[in-house]
Amino acid sequence: MDHSQLFFKHLAPTNPFPVGIEIDYAEGSWIYGPKGKWLDLIAGIAVCSVGHRHPNVVAAIHQQVDRYLHTMVYGEYVQDANTRLAQKLTSLLPSTLDCIYLVNSGTEANEAAIKMARRATGRSQIISFHKSYHGNTMGSLSISGNETKKAAFRPLIPDVDFIQLNRWEDLDRITSNTAGVILEPVQGDAGVRTAHNDYLVALRNKCTEVGALLIFDEIQCGVGRTGSWYYFQQTPVVPDAFTTAKGFGGGLPIGALVASKELHALWAHAPMLGHITTFGGNPVCSASALAVLETIESEKLMDQIPEKANFIRSRLNHPQILEIRNEGLMFAVDLKSEEEVGKLFDYCLQNGVIIYRFLSSPSSFRMAPPLTISLEELEFGMKVILEGLNVLK
Q: Return residues touching ligand PLP (CB under 6 A).
A: 45, 105-107, 110, 133-135, 184, 188-189, 217, 219-220, 245
* Nearest-angstrom CA–CA distance, 143 and 150: 10
Q: How far is the CB of 43 from ligand PLP (least distance, A)?
A: 12
Cα distances from 193 to residues 5, 33, 254, 375, in angstroms, run 39, 34, 25, 25
Q: How far is the CB of 189 from ligand PLP (least distance, A)?
A: 6
Q: Which is nearer to ligand PLP, 43 or 219 (CB)?
A: 219
Q: How far is the CB of 243 from ligand PLP (least distance, A)?
A: 7
> HSE of 75 in the Cβ direction (CA atoms, 13 Å)?
17
Considering only CA atoms, which of 143, 100, 98 is closest in space to residue 118? 143
Based on C-alpha coordinates, what's the Rg of the chain?
A: 21
Nearest residue relative to ligand PLP (C-beta)? 106
Considering only CA atoms, which of 246, 348, 290, 319 is closest in space to residue 21? 348
Q: How far is the CB of 361 from ligand PLP (least distance, A)?
A: 13
Q: Which is nearer to ligand PLP, 242 or 345 (CB)?
A: 242
Q: What is the DSSP letter of 231?
A: G
- Cα-flanking dihedrals φ and ψ of residue 32, to 5°? -120, 140
Q: Which is nearer to ligand PLP, 28 or 139 (CB)?
A: 139
Q: How far is the CB of 104 from ligand PLP (least distance, A)?
A: 8
Q: Starting from the edge strand earliest in sequence, which strands make up the sheet with 125-129, in order?
A: 99-103, 255-259, 241-244, 213-217, 178-183, 125-129, 160-163
Q: Which is nearer to ligand PLP, 145 or 188 (CB)?
A: 188
Q: How far is the CB of 133 from ligand PLP (least distance, A)?
A: 5
Q: Which is nearer to ligand PLP, 189 or 240 (CB)?
A: 189
* Nearest-angstrom CA–CA distance, 315 and 382: 6
Q: Which is nearer to ligand PLP, 82 or 110 (CB)?
A: 110
